[in-house]
Structure 1
Amino acid sequence: MADVEEPKKLESEIPSDPPPPPTEAAVEKSVTPPPPTEEKPADSTEKPPEPIEKAAESTEKKSTEVSVDRDAVLARVATEKRISLINAWEESEKSKAENKAQKKLSSIAAWENTKKAAIEAELKRIEVLI
């Protein structure tokens, strides 16, 4: 009966979302083989050889380097995004200022034209009276 329960547990543990694609760090980790396990006789009291420990340390260094590289890339992307948003805001403010100035110039030109027309009409009226 224990065999029947195990597949049910496996089915319930399957996540509904597909796993994200493996990153560079995951690819490098999967390429690195785990340290070999050595079977020792009961009377042997030797310590594991040093190269295995060094290999583990180099793997840790690689993973931290990849982590640091990833952090640096993410920081650079965040900085570029922030700069892009700032530039877009500056362009928006410039266009707002230009549009506002153009609107003022347009209203001034319209006011001038109205005054000119009023003065010309007044001159014609005076000429007609004379």
Structure 2
Amino acid sequence: MYAVITFLTGLLFGLGLAISEMTNPTVVLGFLDLFGDWNPSLVFVMGGAVTVGMIGYVIRNRRSKPWLADKWYVPTRRDIDKNLILGSAMFGVGWGLSGYCPGPGLTALTNNPVEGVYFIAALIAGSAIFHFQNHRNNS
């Protein structure tokens, strides 16, 4: 049952990305271009995401455990460190330059294969650099 729910959740998320055009880098870059030809349509997408997230927290606060797990897995760290700031900045710069974040970036492999291959290669390279750097620092 867990695998079915996970699949359906991913499918719903992917459909939401496609319907909202978050998979179209032109729309995303238009949203990020505040001083140019700004496209405010993604404000509604973000509003919907925040609303769903808030409903999730209300449900979590009212239930002692989730339906399909033994306990809630909620992040407990509240500190803001240099890794969080650096990672967030890198994500934002990458999103702003390419118009893709990891989920929609995978769809580029079918929608725009040339860009998709470059994006996925950069994603893998960045992940490998992080893994190498993190492993080196923890050794």
TM-score (norm 2): 0.28
Q: Structure 1 or 2: larger helix share?
A: 1
Bigger radius of gyration, 1 or 2?
1
TM-score (norm 1): 0.30
Higher RCO structure, 1 or 2 (CA under 8 Å, sep 6+):
1
